[in-house]
Structure 1
Amino acid sequence: MNKLTVMTEINEMLDTYCEGCFIKKQLVKDCGKTGAHQFCIQTCTIGEQLKFLGNEMNKYTE
């Protein structure tokens, strides 16, 4: 995977799954932005995939 491919994949995932996510909207209301962000990072399967892609991106900056 090259850097451009990783960036494209991240953008596609954010546009497809995260933009307009009802779970995130509800969590922002219930727990605030920080609580929603923690859910996305720790629990959401898309968040896990984004973390993986972020780690792949870091391989190109080291």
Structure 2
Amino acid sequence: MNKVDVMKDIDQLTDTYCVDCLVIRDLRKTRGKQGAHRFCIESCTVGEQLQFLGEEIMKISEK
């Protein structure tokens, strides 16, 4: 997997799931922007996939 493919995967995930996410919209109202972001990092399965892809980019960049 190369860096461009990983970036395309990240863009596809965010466009498909994150742009119109109702959970984020609701959490921003109740917990604020930081609370919604914390949910994405710690609890969201899409957030977990994005973290994995970010780690893959870091591995590619180190080479």
Q: TM-score, normalised by structure 1?
A: 0.97
Looking at structure 2, the residues matched to 27 and 61 of structure 1 have their Cα atoms a distance apart, in angstroms, of 34
Give 2:5's aligned residue: 5
Number of aligned residues: 62
5+ long unaligned stretches in structure 2 = none
Q: Which amino acid aligns with 1:41?
A: I
Give 2:48's aligned residue: 48
- Are residue 28 (structure 1) and residue 28 (structure 2) matched? yes
Q: Which amino acid aligns with 2:35?
A: G
Question: Once the two structures are superposed, what CA deviation does each residue of 1:17-51 show, in whole Å capped at 9, x if it has no partner?
Answer: 00110000000000000000000010000000000
Q: Identity over aligned residues, as a percent?
A: 53
Q: Which amino acid aligns with 2:41?
A: I
Determine helix, strand or coil for the equivalent of 1:20: coil
Q: What's the CA shift for 1:60? A: 1.8
